[in-house]
Amino acid sequence: MRGFARACAFLLIFDVGYYLQAIRGEFQILVHRHSIEKLIANSKTPVTLKQQLELVRRLRTFARTELKLLVDGDYEKYVDVHRKYVVWDVQAAPPFSLEPKVWWYPFVGRLAYRGYFSEKRAREYGSRLAKQGFDVYVDGVEAYSTLGWFKDPLLNTFIYDGEPELAELLFHELAHKRVFANGDTDFNEAYATTVGREGARRWLRSKGEAGLAGQYEVAIAREQQFVHLILATREQLAQIYGDAHRTEDEMRREKQRVFDDLRRQYAELKSTWAGYSGYDDWFAHDLNNAKLNTVANYYDDVPAFQRLLQQNGGDMQRFHTAVERLSKEPKIRRHQQLRELGAECEPSFCQ
Give per-residue pLDDT as tens, 309-341: 999 999 999 999 999 999 999 999 999 999 999
Q: Considering the domain boundaries, does residue 121 fall inside one? A: yes
CA–CA dist 220, 214 (Å, integer)? 10
First to last CA, the chain: 18
**Helix pair angle (210-241, 163-178), 10° resolution:** 60
Q: Considering the domain boundaries, does residue 280 fall inside one? A: yes
CA–CA dist 177, 196 (Å, integer)? 13
For residues 10 and 26, the answer to whether their CB atoms sit within 8 Å is yes
* pLDDT of 14 strictly over 50: no
> How large is the average pLDDT for residues 212-229?
96
- pLDDT value at residue 347: 63
> How large is the average pLDDT for residues 70-87?
95
CA–CA dist 52, 154 (Å, integer)? 10
Is residue 143 very low, low, confident or very high in pLDDT (cuts 50, 70, 90)?
Answer: very high
pTM here? 0.90
Residues 6 or more apart whose CB falls under 8 angstroms from that of 17 comprise none
Q: Considering the domain boundaries, does residue 348 fall inside one? A: no
- pLDDT value at residue 348: 59
Question: Which residue range(s) make up the domain with 240?
Answer: 7-300
Element (H, E) at 203: helix 185-207
DSSP character for 273?
S
Question: CB count, 10 Å around CB of 267?
Answer: 11
For residues 9 and 188, the answer to whether their CB atoms sit within 8 Å is yes
Q: Considering the domain boundaries, does residue 92 fall inside one? A: yes
* Alpha-carbon distances, residue 178 vs 73, 142, 307 (angstroms): 14, 20, 19
Residues 6 or more apart whose CB falls under 8 angstroms from that of 33 comprise 77, 78, 79, 153
Q: Considering the domain boundaries, does residue 203 fall inside one? A: yes
- pLDDT value at residue 350: 63
For residues 200 and 172, the answer to whether their CB atoms sit within 8 Å is no
> How large is the average pLDDT for residues 253-275?
97
- pLDDT value at residue 13: 41
> How large is the average pLDDT for residues 135-140?
97
For residues 289 and 97, the answer to whether their CB atoms sit within 8 Å is yes
- pLDDT value at residue 349: 56
Q: Which of 19-28, 122-131, 224-233 has the lowest mean pLDDT?
A: 19-28
> How large is the average pLDDT for residues 194-211?
95
> How large is the average pLDDT for residues 54-67?
98
Q: Considering the domain boundaries, does residue 313 fall inside one? A: no
CA–CA dist 294, 136 (Å, integer)? 11
CA–CA dist 326, 339 (Å, integer)? 13
* pLDDT of 279 strictly over 70: yes
Q: Considering the domain boundaries, does residue 133 fall inside one? A: yes
Closest CA to 156 of 73, 49, 60: 49
Q: Considering the domain boundaries, does residue 336 fall inside one? A: no
- pLDDT value at residue 19: 74
> How large is the average pLDDT for residues 97-121?
89
CA–CA dist 94, 20 (Å, integer)? 28
* pLDDT of 8 strictly over 60: no
Angle 9-325-201 from CA coordinates, rounded to 5°: 60
- The rounded mean pLDDT for the chain is 92
For residues 56 and 76, the answer to whether their CB atoms sit within 8 Å is no
* Alpha-carbon distances, residue 296 vs 31, 191, 231, 300 (angstroms): 35, 13, 7, 5
269 alpha-carbon distance from chain centroid: 23
Q: Any bridge partners for residue 155, and if so which? A: 79
- pLDDT value at residue 7: 41
Where is pLDDT greater, at 147 or 125?
Answer: 125
DSSP character for 196?
H
Number of structural domains, the chain? 1
- pLDDT value at residue 146: 86
CA–CA dist 163, 159 (Å, integer)? 10
- pLDDT value at residue 221: 95
Torsion sign across C-alpha atoms 226, 227, 230, 233: negative
